[in-house]
Amino acid sequence: MSYYVFGSELTDPYVFEALKKKRIGGYTLNGKEVEEEKKKAKYPEYLGSFKLEDEEKYNNFENPDGAKNDKGHLGSSDFRHLFPSSAKFSTFDLSPNFGTEIDGIQLSQLDDDGKNDLALYLEKRGLVIFRNQDLKDKGPGFSKKFGEYFGPLHIHPVSYSAEDYPELLVTYRKAGGSERYDAQFQERTSAAAWHSDISFERYPASFSFFVALETPESGGDTVFIDTREAYRRLSPPFRKFLETLTVIHTNYYQNKGAQLNNLPAKIKKDYFTEHPLVRTHPVTGEKSLFYSRTFIQRVKGFKKSESDAILNFLEQHVLSNPEIQVRATHRGSDSGTVIAWDNRIVLHTAILDFLQHDTSARHHYRITVLGEKPYILNSENEAASYGHSNGHSNGHSNGHLNGHSDRHPNGHSNGHSNGRSNGI
């Protein structure tokens, strides 16, 4: 069976022209619509129009020292700066191994030590949902500075951004009712688009912070997949085979989609970027499947039928197992939700289950931090090459141990690792 390259139907002139006439309602806006929507938005400063003068304004992004400079290297093994003894907070693990919800820790108040712990915590838990956050109320400039602590920020070539802050990517779906559903699903049965952020870049994303501005009371969630566990579920011989493979990621079809609305590209380039299919995390040393479904075109050096067979297997294996998935709920506009994750070990997709109902807009902005160029350490060179990890490879569990302290709710204590992993 042929492997479907996401968005490749846009290269068919008939499909492209048909979609251009219909325009998928609520997904993209033209310049005039943006100005109209800004009048309705609760946070209009986080919705800016495309400007013709921004076309090809920005350069490609690089972060050659990303692995060495990852803030997780500086995090404390007991996360004492993220969860100080004086803090009153609650936590809930979305699953034992992956994803945690936290209430009572304010991101905007973290000092540098707290941010270092946050980086390490994200690298261990993969995904964290923070409730009742005030990040959005601090203004775009504050969010930009917050993100820059973790590394260089990405400017997306063809996505909307906050007014005068191109580093803050904006996603926006208009308020409305069932007319959005009819338009979205007229030509498709699913809107799922599993991906790791900007995997087509030479230096893809490390952390993403997804800040809710306005969301439906129910629905519009984001679902995440643990690609570490997807890797671990495979047999050792097959893992070894996959570790030899290089996969080509591209934003070519994403750029074609932007052309449906004549959106100028801030960085006008079609990427065809080579990354290892299995990557090593620079802080934890864990391996994961770098299967960014939306942006993957093919396996390098393989005939199409061979490449299709590999990628079709991975699609079924990675995307179809609920045991390695968790759902991050936004819980409406007043929840102050910020969802943060490590793109090197998770995939995600938005869920459009609200479009047939009358709802408010779904409006978010995303802070996207550049990570390292993906790499794979094999068994022969792991021990020698992993010295830059600052000891975190063996000194941390997955963020929790079964033995919890009485000092903090839900067991986030200074007994987080004590040098022993919980086997994952």
What are the φ and ψ backbone dihedral angles of 135, each rounded to 5 degrees? -55, -45
8-411: what fold? Double-stranded beta-helix (3.60.130)
Domain locations along the chain: 8-411
Q: Strand, coil or helix: what is 333?
A: coil
pLDDT score for 23: 61
**Dihedral in degrees, nearest 10, Cα atoms 61, 65, 68, 73:** -40
Distance CA 59, CA 276 (A): 24
pLDDT score for 145: 98
pTM of the complete model:
0.89
10-residue mean pLDDT series, the chain (424 residues) = 93 85 58 87 93 84 96 98 96 97 98 98 98 97 98 94 95 92 85 96 98 95 98 98 98 89 84 97 98 98 98 98 97 93 98 94 97 87 40 39 36 37 34
**Residue among 22, 24, 9, 30 nearest 264 (CA):** 30
pLDDT score for 254: 92
What are the φ and ψ backbone dihedral angles of 46, each rounded to 5 degrees? -100, 35
pLDDT score for 30: 67
Distance CA 228, CA 345 (A): 6
Distance CA 24, CA 1 (A): 28
Q: Tell me if 363 sits within 8 A of 170, measured CB to CB.
A: yes
